[in-house]
Amino acid sequence: MGGVPGQRGASREASPTELWLRTLGGVAGAVRQVLVARQLDERLAAAFPAGRRLRVLDVGTGQGTQALRLARAGHEVTGMESDPEMLTTVRAVLAAEAPQVRERVRLLEAESTRTGAHFTPNSFDVVLCHGVLMHVEEPDAVLAGLARVLAAGGLLSLLVRNADALALRPGLDGDWDTALAAFDSPLTRDSAGRTVRADRLGRLTQTLGGIGAPLAAWYGVRVFTDRYPAHAAPPRAEEFDRILDVEDRAGRTDPYRRVAALLHLCGVRG
């Protein structure tokens, strides 16, 4: 048990980062990572020749799930992360990887708004920005910076909260005040209790077109499983596979994907 130095028996309150990391093994966290990986691989196969080694920038690397997965596949990955606590986590995970994987990963402590200060234009074939825009008050400048460092024909992958569906889950739970407020405000709370912002598909589609990386495909993520408790562990493999099959199908099918908790948008640089 951790405690505050000098205060025997006192427990330290978990940080928002620690609270968020604890949810990664839950159903919702597992569904998110598996579906995003499937969808990302699909778009990479559509955009690039098989076997090409890609230059990848992961803005808001978090615990490094997608960054490390791509490094294991042979790609060169640069991870930008502004949270020192999260960087410590991903470095510990990276240390356990094979030497050839570690050599393909570079980690940088930096804000998502500072891509222009660290990288020249056309530096990357793929830019990931997953779970970052929800912490940014005005995303357009961040997106323009991401497009600037993306090479022609490159893929921009965004994972955002879905503002068009914010009222659905509190409404289904009978939380009428929260549901009513969700119609008028893009603000909500994440699993760590932080106030975060959601984005609308129509607005992001316009923005991607305006920065020269028009939308090529989009998916819904967590249509059904977002109502699971944050720490609910995934069921046995056979049942979890069925959950993934249903979520994968729903995330590609209207009208279901439009009410997903998260949206995965993929733009291609012209």
Q: Could you give all domains of the chain from N- to C-terminal order, each with its CATH number?
A: 18-268 (3.40.50.150)
In this predicted structure, the answer to whether residue 240 has a pLDDT above a threshold of 70 is: yes
pLDDT tens for 120-144 read 999 999 999 999 999 998 899 999 9
Contact partners, residue 241, CB within 8 Å, separation at least 6 = none
**What band does 14 get if pLDDT is binned at 50, 70 and 90?**
confident
In this predicted structure, the answer to whether residue 224 has a pLDDT above a threshold of 50 is: yes
Helix axes 201-210, 140-148, angle to 10 degrees: 40
The overall average pLDDT reported for the chain is 91
In this predicted structure, the answer to whether residue 190 has a pLDDT above a threshold of 90 is: no
Predicted pLDDT of residue 20: 62
**What band does 193 get if pLDDT is binned at 50, 70 and 90?**
confident
Distances (CA, A) of 233 to 23, 220, 238, 268: 9, 22, 14, 36
0.85 surpassed by pTM: yes
